[in-house]
Amino acid sequence: MNERNRGGDDGAAQPPGMPRWVKVSGLLVLAVAAVLVVIMLLSGGDHGPRLHTGAGDLIRTSLVVRAAGL
Amino acid sequence: MRMRSAVRKLVLSIHLVVSVGWIGAAGAYVALDLTTVRSDDPDLLRSAYMGMDLVVRSVIVPLAIATLLTGVAISLGTRWGLFRHYWVVISLLLTVLATVVLLVETRTIAALAEVAADPSTTRDELSGLSSTLVHSVGGLVVLLAVLVLNVYKPRGLTRHGWRAQVQATSDPA
């Protein structure tokens, strides 16, 4: 495997390809993300940025509901 | 535009202090977050939630923003550039991601601290408050990954970096 294919900094005539460490890291991150998504789905979690918007209202509402014994 | 040596060293020093400080503060935050998961003591829970809010607002958010700004400055002011090397681009993306998630999470933490600080909140309610442990541990892992990238600086030019290098070689002036 030459330097160009490894994404080296040698200024070859063709643009360098993506380095192997980027591809491997990307695949690892995707695999971990997929596992986390599966875990969240199996545990019935409702997760996402929407969860945090107005979080105070959600927390207070749940406390009011519990405090009222509803 | 390249920075002069003295300026580069100053910006790099600030970047090192704030970025490593961010990791340290995140570690302290995880300790408080773990307390909210493991403890049933209402006083300890109140203190932990209020401490988390204080640490995030007064330490972690300023350090995150300072890390992002000094990181961009040091990249643009040196030969590394912002989009020339994969390790710089990935570091930037991860830092932006960590900062955005942090800023979104700040609202949740403030709300949790507000409820915890309310004297009418009962022991059971305190124990039932949610945790931010997944985000805090995940954020710490991301920050450590960026640190490793910045120390090892793995090889790999982007297409933009390659074009800039070819241009500089063919036109040294």
CA B38 from centroid of its chain's CA atoms: 25
Q: Does A30 touch chain B (CB under 8 A)?
A: no
Q: Does B154 touch chain A (CB under 8 A)?
A: yes
Q: What is the DSSP annotation of B115-172?
A: HHH-TT--HHHHHHS---HHHHHHHHHHHHHHHHHHHH----B-HHHHHHHHHHHH--
Local confidence pLDDT in tens for the 173 residues of chain B: 788 999 999 999 999 999 999 999 999 999 999 999 999 999 999 999 999 999 999 999 999 999 999 999 999 999 899 999 999 999 999 999 999 999 999 999 999 999 999 999 999 899 889 889 989 999 999 999 999 999 999 999 999 999 988 988 887 65
* ipTM for this prediction: 0.77
Using an 8 Å CB-CB cutoff, list chain B residues near A67.
122, 125
Q: What CA–CA distance (Å, rounded) separates B55 from B131?
A: 15
Nearest CA in chain A to B126: A63
Q: Does A21 touch chain B (CB under 8 A)?
A: yes
Nearest CA in chain A to B103: A52
The backbone torsions φ and ψ at residue B20, rounded to the nearest 5 degrees and listed phi first, read -70, -35
Under a CB-based contact definition with an 8 Å cutoff, are residues B154 and B86 in contact?
Answer: yes
CB contact under 8 A, B107 and A53: yes
